[in-house]
Structure 1
Amino acid sequence: MAKMTKSQLAWRPGMPKKRRSTRVMFASVILTLEALAVLFAGLAMFGLRGRVEGGGVPFLIMGIVVAIALVLTCAVVGKRWGTALGWVLQVVLILMGLFEPMMFVVGALFLLSWAYAMWQGTKIDLENAARAEEQAQWEAEHPEG
């Protein structure tokens, strides 16, 4: 039998489902796409520099480590420090341009995507919270007969 989470243990019939954060979902999508881009960038740097400079392995390792960090950040992006880590990783992505200049462009585009996801996701979450509050107030004023 699988171990149940706290929320699964606390669930009772008729309980409303907790709404997932749109900002967290947007952020997770961006981070996952960035992880794929970084992984492929690491492979490209490995291939381009492996023969010329005699050692592309560090670039491959760098790409894998950053990609893993991006994916793991998806798990904590709902926390305040997780979002801050996401911003730090945006800077890391841009700094990869020091090793492969095209990453400046890729990093900047992902930074814009990340900022837009944070902005719009927060806006949508606030609208959803206000709508849920209004719905709860209406239901309190109009009990089912």
Structure 2
Amino acid sequence: MESVFDGLSEFLNPLLLFGTLSVIGGSGVLLTKYSELNGLIVLLSSVLIGGAAYFLIYYFMVIPMANAESSTSISINDLEGAIGEVITTIPADGMGEVFIQSPNGSRNEIAKSFDKQEIKQGTKILVIQVEDQILFVSELTEL
């Protein structure tokens, strides 16, 4: 369920607020120093310039960043079929640790033997199944 405050929180983004306040302050300082305008007119002009900056920042920075891809990481479920290496020996009925390298980076994961056999450190493995955040692996044999 979406609340009224969801849209408001995007509109009151800290990037927008601090950017707008900076533009209001900067334009106020510049107008005070380099013009002969009355203080009230400087204040109103600065607020108008800040409002314009607010909408420019919103439409050219906040919206594109919100639509951008936020992560390049992969889910643990995407590791099925991946090849890795045992870094902590996996006992027949226990757990060990495997190292898996992917284009998105490398990661260490907890693993159990799919075949219920001990897999020694340094052995190449294949991820057969992922269940409850645990990789079930089998020793990779060459054909």
What's the TM-score once normalised by structure 1's chain length? 0.31
What's the TM-score once normalised by structure 2's chain length? 0.32
* Structure with greater Cα Rg: 2
Higher normalized contact order (CA 8 Å, seq sep 6+, divided by chain length): 1
Which has more helix, going by share of residues?
A: 1
